[in-house]
Amino acid sequence: MDDSERPIGGNADQEPASPCDTTTPCHDSASSLPFKTATGGTLRRQRTIRSAVETGGIGFLTGADVSIRFLPAPENHGIVFRRTDCPGSEPIPARIEFTVPRQRRTAIEHRGVAVEMVEHVMAALAGLQIDNCLVELNAPEPPGADGSSLLFVNALLQTDIVAQNAPRPLLVVNHRCRITDDRAGAELIAEPLRRSALAITYHLDYGTRSPIPPQNLTVEITRESFTRELAFARTFILESDVAALRAQGYGLRTTARDLLVYGPEGVIDNRLRAEDECVRHKILDCVGDFALLGCDIHGHFRACRSGHRLNREIVHRLASSCPCFGNSPQRDAA
C-alpha cells in the first residue's frame, strides 16, 4: 500500500518472443541432488518451516485485531492462505490467478472469500525462501504492524527453515518484457540477467512538488539482502490521502506512528529507518508481488513509478507465456 497506486488505465507491449524460459529438473547421474537446470545452474530444494509460529496486530484496513499463524506444508504445496473466521471456506492459493483488482494493495480471492494486503506477508516468505506454508488468519487481512515485513520475518525466524527433497521451479527471463502506464508515467521492464539471480531496480520520482525526494536503488535479492536491506522498509502515504481513506472506513486505528505519513515538510511523527526507505519499500512490494508466480525467478526487473497493479500485470504476462503454469487451478468468480 503506497502513494503510487492510482485508478488508471494502462497498456502493455512486449517483444514477440516468449519472455521466459522455464527450467525443469533432470536426473544427475552422480546424485539425485542437486538438480540441474537446462542452462547448467542448480535448482535449489524447496523449503518450509519446522514448526508453527504465530503473531498478531491491528489490520490497517479493517482495524480488527488480527492473529496470523504460519504452519509447515508439504512439498509443492506453495503458499496458501486460510481464513479461520470463515468456517467452511476453502484455502486460497497465493498465486497470480487468484488475485483480484484492488487499489494500493494486492488481494487474493477464492469462492467469494478474500484476503487483502498479502504483499508484505508474501515478501517475508519469499525473502526468506520459504516456499511451502499454510498461512491462517482470523480476519480479512494480515496485521498491518508498521507497514513493513519485519513482524512476519521475526515470527518466521523463531523456528527453523528446513529443506525438502523436491526442487524449486525456476523461471528464467530470456527476452525483454515491458509494461507501461502512460497516464501515470510508470513502467516495469523484465529483462535477462547474465548471472543466475533476481535483481530489482526501482526509480522513485514523484516530481519536484512531492515531499518524497527522488530515490534510486538496485538490490539483488537473497535471504541476506532481503532481511538486511528491505524487510524493515515501511509503507508510505501522503497526508492528503489519509483523510480520503478514513472517509472510506480504512485506517481508523492507524496513526502516523504506525507507518510513514508524508506532509508538505516531510515525515510526520516518525523517523526514517533509512534515507531511501521509500524506494526500499517499493522493492519489498515487488518481491511480494513477484512471489505470486509460485517459483524462483532469474532476471532483472527495472521499475519506474510502478505499483502493485503493474507488478501483477507483468506477473500475469510471464505466467501466461510459460507452459508450466497452464495446469494451475483457476480462481472461481465470486
Strands 296-304 and 198-204: parallel
pLDDT of residue 206 exceeding 50:
yes
pLDDT tens per residue across span 6-32: 322 233 333 333 455 444 332 222 223
Determine the average pLDDT of the residues in 226-237.
Answer: 97
pTM confidence score:
0.86
Using the 8-state DSSP alphabet, how is residue 226 labeled?
Answer: I
Cα→Cα distances 36→40, 184, 258, 323, 326, Å: 6, 42, 45, 19, 23
pLDDT confidence of residue 184: 83
CATH number of 11-325: 3.30.230.20
Where do the domains of the chain lie?
A: 11-325
pLDDT at 222 over 50: yes
Model pLDDT, residue 27:
29
In this predicted model, what pLDDT tens digit does every residue of 93-104 receive, in sequence order?
A: 999 999 999 988
**pLDDT tens string 248-271:** 887 788 888 889 999 999 999 999
Average pLDDT estimate for 19-46: 46
- Residue-level pLDDT at 185: 87
pLDDT at 38: 36
- Which residue is catalytic, options 120, 281, 300, 308? 308
Average pLDDT value for the chain: 86
SS3 46: strand
Q: Span 72-94, mean pLDDT?
A: 97
Grid cell locating 35: 538438480
Give DSSP secondary structure letters for 271-316.
Answer: --SSTTHHHHHHHHHHHHHHGGGSSEEEEEEEEES--HHHHHHHHH
Q: Is the pLDDT of residue 180 over 90?
A: yes
Cα–Cα distance, 237 to 149 (Å, whole number)? 17
H/E stretch holding 243 reads helix 239-247
Q: Distance of alpha carbon 330 from its chain centroid, rounded?
A: 20
pLDDT given at position 196: 94
Q: What is the pLDDT of residue 103?
A: 87
Active site annotation includes 308: yes
Percent of the chain exceeding pLDDT 70 equals 84
Helices 277-290, 308-320: axis angle to 10 degrees equals 30
What is the CA angle 258-121-107, rounded to 5? Answer: 95
